Amino acid sequence: MAIVSGGDSGIGRAVAVLFAREGADVAVLYKDENEDAAETAEAVRREGQECLALAGDIGSEAFCQTAVEQIFNHFGRIDVLVNNAAEQHEQESITDVSEQQLVRTFQTNVFGYFYMTKAVLPHLEEGAAIVNTTSVTAYKGSPQLLDYASTRGAIVAFTRSLALQLADRKIRVNGVAPGPIWTPLIPASFDEERTAQHGAGVPLGRPGQPNEVAPCHLFLASDDASYMTGQILHPNGGSIIGG
């Protein structure tokens, strides 16, 4: 049984559906995109698995605790947590990043991962897995997404540190750092010109699709990755990261 935050669309939906295709029941957490979440839930059910979709703000620890308890009571177990929900807001200068935006971006992208992990951890047993979605911007930076890239860097450090903390419990923690992927977040974040150029600068010359990222999450959650923890996979169209 897997929990996917930000599972209403994009990478989160692709992960939820692929997990279901491989036999997992799925719980999807989303903020307020009810129609999108319903489409994800239906797609999971078409794969023959059960889906529970819960609306709320993962930036709230109270919501995370309540949601996880509801999920555990419903399914009776939790095997995988995919921390995926995120938000980004383009700004040309650090002076344009308001306190409200900075706090909100960290609240969702960092605090939400902490809160979900804290809530799930008491229910995870040996062999369970946590997979965190980060971003290529954690490694390359992004001049227009300064606060977002900072949160993604924090998640890389969070992944590595949590992996060390949970190694004795035989719970693996890994991450996925997608490059330019075509998701609803792109046109919602950038102007028409930037959107049209999305992904053009990578060696493969195009943006990736969510279903080209989800197999990384599936692999890291599976027993095939049993000797991997604290690692980050890079589905990014050919950008060389970290030498």
Just list the catalytic residues.
148
Residue with tokens 């957490």: 29
Count the neighbouring beta carbons within 10 Å of the beta carbon of residue 153: 17
CA-nearest of 102, 72, 87 to 30 is 87
CA-nearest of 109, 124, 76 to 221 is 124
Q: Quick one: CA torsion of 121, 124, 125, 131, rounded to 10 degrees?
A: -100
Per DSSP, which regions of the chain are E strands?
Answer: 2-5, 26-30, 51-55, 80-83, 129-133, 172-176, 232-233
